[in-house]
Chain A
Amino acid sequence: MSIDTFVYRNTSPPPDAAGTPLSGKRFSVQPNMSVRDWPTGAGSLALEGYVAVENATVVGRLQMAGAYIVGSTRMSEFGLGICDDSSARAVVDGHADIALITDTMGEARMAAALTGLCGFKPSYGIVSRLGLIGLVPSMECFGMVARHPADITAVLGAVVGPDENDFSMVVDGIPDPGAEKGDGDLRGSFGVVPEILELLGKEEIKIFRENLKWLEMNGWKVHEVSIPDFALFPVIHNVIGSVEASSSGGKYDGVRYGYRAQGTKNWNEMYLKTRDEAFGFLVKTYFMQGAYFQFENYQAFENACRIRARLLRETQRLFEEVDMLVLPTRRHGFPADTARSVKETYEAFSFTVLSNITGQPAIHLSNPRGGKPFEPGVQLVCPHCADFRLLSVAEQLYACWKGGY
C-alpha cells in the first residue's frame, strides 16, 4: 500500500459480510468524510487533529451493506479541485474497488478522466450529505470513482434515500434502485452543445466527433442543442461557490476545535492569525473572493443566483428534446491535477461544473481501449433523479465498447 495514497488506514479486519449487497467491496474515503474515531482533517491545517464524533450517513449505510472501508486518501483542502488528491490512485493501484470523492465542481469525473476510470456525481439531494465536510453546500456531494459503472450502481443503491437528519435533501422523487433501473434497449438521443466547441482545440474536436460518430454507429441519435451562455457556468459556480465557501469556512476560527495560532494578544488577533495560517492558497483566495461578493458586491452575487436559476431552466428544457447531454470531461492544456489557483481550477473544470450548478447527475466514462496519448472519453448528464437510468446507459455503453470500437 503506497504511503502517498493513504493518510489513514483502517486497522480493523474486513467484516464477515457474506450475503450483503456490497460484500467483499473495498472502499476508500477522503478525510473529510466522517468515520467515527478516524482523523478527519479534510486536507486542511484548520482541522489538524480533528477526529470525527459520528459516522457520515453514507459511511454508516456502506458498512450496513457489508462494505469494508480500507482507509482515507490524500485530498485537496476541503475537496476543492484534485490537485493533491489520491482517491482515483487507490482504485488504479488496486487498493480499493470504489473511491469516494467529494464532488464540488466535477472532481469525481475529472479524477476518473485522468486515470481511465469512470466517475459519477449523483443528483443533488438524493444522497445524505450529513458528515461530509465541504465548502459549497448547494453544489457538493459524495462522488464515486470505480472501474465499471456496475460498481457505482451497486454503491448508489446502498446509499441513496432519505435521511431524516439531512434537511437539505429532496422531498419527492428520490429514485428507487429497484424501480428505476431500466432494462432492455436504452438507446435514445444525445444532445451535443455546440457552444463547447469554442472551448476545445482542433485535436480535441476531432476526437470528440469520433466519439459521437461511434455513438451513432451503435444506434444512438445525436442532436445539436444550444446553451448560448454555456461559458457562464464556471463564472456562476465561482461567484456562488466562493460565497458559500466563505460562509462555510467561517466556523474554522480556532475557538472550539481545530488549529489555533499561538502567541496572540487578543481574540481579534487570534482570529486573524489562525485563519491566516490555517488555509492554503487556493482556499484562501476562494474565501477572499466570496467575502468580496458578500461585503462589497452583493449585487453580483444576486445576479449570479438569478442566472443560476435561468441556466437550470434552460438545461431542463433541453431534456424535452434529448434524453441526455454528451460533453467532453476535460480540456487539453488545462490540467486539473496541477491547477493551484482559482482561475486554473475553473479553466480545468469548465465542462463539469454544469451539473454541480443544476444538481443533475453526471458520469464520466473513459474509453476502456485506453487510447494514448490523448483519449478524453465522454461525460453524460441526464435529468435530475434519473440516476439509475444514467448508470444503466453507462453500463450498456461499456458493453458496446468492450464489444469493439
Chain B
Amino acid sequence: MGYEAVIGLEIHLELNCMTKMFCNCPNLPGDEPNLNTCPICLWFPGAIPQFSHETLEKAVITSLALNCEIQKESAFDQKVYYYPDLPKGFQLSQAHRPLARHGWLDIIGMDGRTRRLRIRHVHMEEDVAKLVHETEGRTPISLVDFNRAGVPLVEIVTEPDMRSPHDAMEFIRALRMQIRYAGSADCSMEAGTMRVDANISIRPEASEVMNTKVEVKNMNSIRHLGDAIAYEMQRQEACVRNGEAIVLHTRLWDPDRRMTTPMRGKFEGPCVPDPSVPAIRLSEEWISEMKSRLPEMPGEKVERFINQYGLSRDEAVMMSSERDLSEYFESVVKENIAPRLASHWVATQLLPLIRERQQNIAESPVTPARLAALLSMLAGEEINTSSAKIVLTQLFERKDSPEAIVQMSGFSQVSDKDELDRLVDRVMADNPSAVEDFRNGQAKALGFLIGRAMQASQGKANPKMIREILTKKLG
C-alpha cells in the first residue's frame, strides 16, 4: 500500500515597517542589543500598547497579495505562556478573529498542471525577544535582547492542501514572489524574515482521512523545507509500517545531520481577547484604497508583457519574476529598444553579470538608460554583438557612457563598403580551399570565411555586410 503526505504550512513574515507594532521603536532587530526598546515594548507597568497604522496597512496589503478576503472586523488576543523571551506573559496575536481569510496561490504541480492551494487565514502577531545563552565563568546564563520584541509579523496559515515537498517549496516560492511584489516584507528564510513551519501527516493514497500531524520547525531555506518534509514523510511511513503510533509533537530540522529530531510536545496555550488594544473595524472604502495601492501583480504582468510587448510566455514570466526586474525591463523598453532584444539581453547577459557581482538590479551601475544606449548602438549596427558584450562588462567598472566607451576602445563597427570589399578579397585569397569547398556546395564554408573576416577585422567588421559581400563574390 502506498502513502501520501498531507502538508499544511504556517509562515511567519516580518513586515518591513519603520516601527514596531505597538510602539514607536525602530523596527531594527539587528541593532546593538536592547537599543530599540521603550516602556511599551519592555511592558513597564502602566504602559498601554499603541497599535501602529503602518502595521495594519502592510498586513492588509500582504493579505491582498495572497488573494485573501479582508475581514471588516478583527481583534487581538493574548496567547498566554511564560518564557523569558516574552516580556508580559502573553503574545498579542489574532487567534479568534484574524485579519483576513480564504486566500489562495496557484502553483505548477509535479505533473505540470496548475494547482490552487488554499490559505485558511492571515493574522497579525508581535514577535518575541531573542534569547542568547552564554556562560559567565562556569555558570550558564541567559541574556535577553528585546530589540525584536514587538516587531510586526503576519502569520499565514494554509489549508492542508500540499501533498509533496515540491508543492510546499513551490508554494513558498509563489508566496515570496507575491509578497516581494507587494513590497510589504523581505521574505528571506536565510535572514530569518520568513520562518516556515510544516505540519505533516501521512495517509494511505486516495484516502480522505486526516491523521495525527507532526510539526517541523527550524528550516532556514526553501531547500531545507523540502528536505525536512521528505525526511519526515519517510520517517512517519516507517513508523506506520512498524506499527508505531504517530504522536502529536514538534520536531526540529537538523541541517547537518539532515534529519528531524523531537523537540517537545506541541503546546497550545489559551487565547484570551485582549482588553487594551481596540478591535479593528475596516470600512469598504479603506479596503478599496488598500487594493488600489497594490501594484500590478506577476500574474497580470505576464499577460500584459505578452500582449503589449510581444514577448513569449517564457520571456514574460522571466521578466516579471521580480518587481525590480520587471521595472528595469520596462524602463529599457521605454528608451525605444525592441522589447524582445531588451528581454534577451537582460536575461542572458545582464543578470548573470549582476549575480556574479552579488548586486541588486535596482542598484546596478548599469542603469536602464545605459543598457538602452548600448542596445541602441547594437540595433543601429554601430557595434556588433561581441563588442556589445565587452562594453557591457565595462559598464560595470567605468562611469563613462556606453558611447564614450565604444569610441575610446575603437569598437565602432566598420561598415565602409570599400574597406570591407578589400578585407573580403584578402580573406578569399588567404583561404582558397574554403572558397573551393563552398563552390562545391559545402554551405558550412561560408560561416568559416565570415569568421576569418571578423577575426581579421578584430571583431569590428559589420558581420551582416561581410556576409552580403562574401555571398556576392562567391556566387
- By a beta-carbon cutoff of 8 Å, the part of chain A in contact with chain B is 32, 34, 40, 42, 47, 50, 52-54, 56, 129-133, 136-138, 165-168, 243-244, 246-247, 249-251, 253, 255-257, 267, 271, 294-295, 298, 301, 305
The reply to whether A247 and B45 form a contact with Cβ atoms under 8 Å apart is: no
Q: Known interface pairs A133-B46, A166-B48. Does A255 touch B87 (Cβ–Cβ under 8 Å)? A: yes
* B-side contacts of A32, CB under 8 Å: 45-46
Check A54/B39 contact, CB under 8 A, given A251-B88, A294-B272.
yes
Whether A251 pairs with B43 at a CB distance below 8 angstroms is yes
Contacts of A54 in B (CB 8 A): 39
Residue of A nearest to B86 (CB): A250
Give the residues in chain A near B49, CB-CB below 8 Å.
167
Indicate if the CB atoms of B272 and A50 lie closer than 8 Å. Answer: no
For residue B42, which residues in chain A have a CB less than 8 angstroms away from its CB? 256
B2 close to A (CB within 8 Å): no
Known: A250-B89, A251-B87, A256-B87. A40 touches B276 (CB 8 A): no
**Chain B residues whose CB sits within 8 angstroms of the CB of A253 once the complex forms:** 82, 84, 89
In angstroms, Cα B272 to Cα A378, docked, is 36
- Bitwise, B393-418 to A at CB < 8 A (1) or not (0) is 00000000000000000000000000
Within B242-291, the residues touching A (CB, 8 Å) are 269-270, 272-278
Establish whether residues A165 and B48, one from each chain, have CB atoms under 8 Å apart when the complex forms.
yes
Q: Verify A247–B87 contact, CB threshold 8 A.
A: no
Question: When A53-B39, A130-B46, A247-B78 are in contact, do A267 and B272 touch as well, CB less than 8 Å?
Answer: no
**Please, how many angstroms separate the alpha-carbon atoms of A27 and B87 in the complex?**
33
Complex contact B46–A137 (CB within 8 A)? no
B 61-84 binary contact with A (CB < 8 Å = 1; else 0):
000000000000000001010101
Rounded to whole angstroms, the CA-CA distance of A138 and B46 in the bound complex is 14
Asked if B329 CB lies within 8 Å of chain A CBs, one says no
Is residue B142 within 8 Å, beta carbon to beta carbon, of the partner chain? yes
Q: Which 6 A/B pairs are nearest by Cβ-Cβ distance?
A: A250-B89, A138-B275, A133-B45, A251-B88, A294-B270, A131-B46
Complex: chain B residue closest to A305, CB-CB: B273
Complex Cα distance A129/B48, Å?
8
B interface residues, Cβ below 8 angstroms from A: 39, 42-51, 78, 80, 82, 84, 87-90, 142, 144, 269-270, 272-278
Instruction: Select which of B45, B88, B278 is within 8 A of A167 by beta carbon.
Output: B278
Bound Cα distance A50, B273 (Å): 29
A255 in contact with B45 given A54-B39, A167-B50, A295-B270 (CB within 8 Å): no
- The chain B residue with its CB closest to the CB of A243 is B272
Q: Are A53 and B88 in contact (CB under 8 A)?
A: no
With contact pairs A56-B46, A131-B46, A256-B42 given, residues A298 and B142 touching in the complex (Cβ less than 8 Å): no
A167 in contact with B48 (CB, 8 Å): yes
Contact partner, A168, options B48, B88, B90, B142, Cβ 8 Å: B48
Q: Are A271 and B82 in contact (CB under 8 A)?
A: yes
Q: Is the CB of A251 within 8 A of B89?
A: yes
Question: Are B48 and A34 interface neighbours, CB within 8 A?
Answer: no
Q: B276, A52: Cβ atoms under 8 Å?
A: no
> Contact at B80–A132, with CB atoms within 8 Å?
no
Closest chain A residue, CB of each to CB of B50: A167
B276: contacting residue among A42, A137, A249, CB under 8 A: A137
* Minimum distance in angstroms from A15 CB to a CB of chain B: 23
**What CA separation (Å) do A136 and B144 show in the bound complex?**
28
CB of A260, distance to nearest CB on chain B (Å): 12
State whether A130 touches B48 (Cβ < 8 A): yes
Known: A165-B50, A298-B270. A137 touches B45 (CB 8 A): no
**A-chain residues with CB within 8 Å of residue B51 when the two chains form the complex:** 167
Residues on A with C-beta less than 8 A from B39 are 53-54
Q: Which residues of A contact B270 (CB under 8 A)?
A: 294-295, 298
How many whole Å from B432's CB to the nearest CB in chain A?
90
The contact of B46 among A34, A243, A249, by CB within 8 Å, is A34
- B96 CB, min distance to chain A CBs, angstroms: 10
Across-interface contacts of A305 in B (CB, < 8 A): 273
B80 → chain A, closest Cβ, in Å? Answer: 6
A187 to B87, CA, bound (A): 52
Residues of A with C-beta under 8 A to B275: 136-138, 168, 244
**B residues near A271, Cβ cutoff 8 Å:** 82
Counting chain A CB atoms within 10 Å of each CB, the highest count among B51, B273, B277 belongs to B273
Establish whether residues B84 and A251, one from each chain, have CB atoms under 8 Å apart when the complex forms.
no
Chain A residue nearest to B277 (CB atoms) is: A167
Considering only CB atoms, which chain A residue lies closest to B39 in the complex? A53
**Bound Cα distance from A47 to B233, whole angstroms:** 51
A247 interface neighbour in B44, B46, B80, B278, Cβ under 8 Å? B80
Question: Beyond A167-B51, A168-B276: 20 further Cβ-contacts under 8 Å?
Answer: A53-B39, A130-B47, A131-B46, A133-B45, A136-B275, A137-B275, A137-B276, A138-B275, A167-B276, A168-B48, A168-B278, A247-B78, A250-B80, A250-B88, A250-B90, A251-B45, A253-B89, A255-B84, A256-B42, A305-B273
Contact of B45 among A40, A243, A301 (CB under 8 A): A40
Q: Chain B contacts of A256 at CB under 8 A?
A: 42-44, 87
**What are 24 A-to-B residue pairs whose CB atoms are below 8 Å?**
A32-B45, A54-B39, A129-B48, A137-B275, A138-B275, A165-B48, A167-B48, A167-B51, A167-B276, A246-B80, A247-B88, A247-B90, A247-B274, A250-B80, A251-B88, A251-B89, A253-B82, A253-B84, A255-B84, A255-B144, A256-B43, A295-B80, A295-B270, A298-B270
In the complex, what residue of chain B is closest to A129 when comparing beta carbons?
B48
| Bound-state Cα–Cα, A246 to B270, Å | 12
Query: Which residues of the partner chain A approach B45 to less than 8 Å between Cβ atoms?
Result: 32, 40, 42, 47, 50, 133, 251
How far apart sit A133 and B47, CA to CA, in the bound complex (Å)?
8
Q: Please give the distance in Å from A135's CB to the nearest CB on chain B.
A: 10
Closest to A258 in B: B45
A294 vs B144: C-alpha distance when bound (angstroms): 27
- A136 nearest in chain B by CB position: B275
Please give me the residue from chain B that is nearest to A125 by CB atom. Answer: B278
A137 to B76, CA, bound (A): 14
Smallest beta-carbon distance B141→chain A, Å: 10
Closest Cβ–Cβ distance, residue B240 to chain A (whole Å): 33
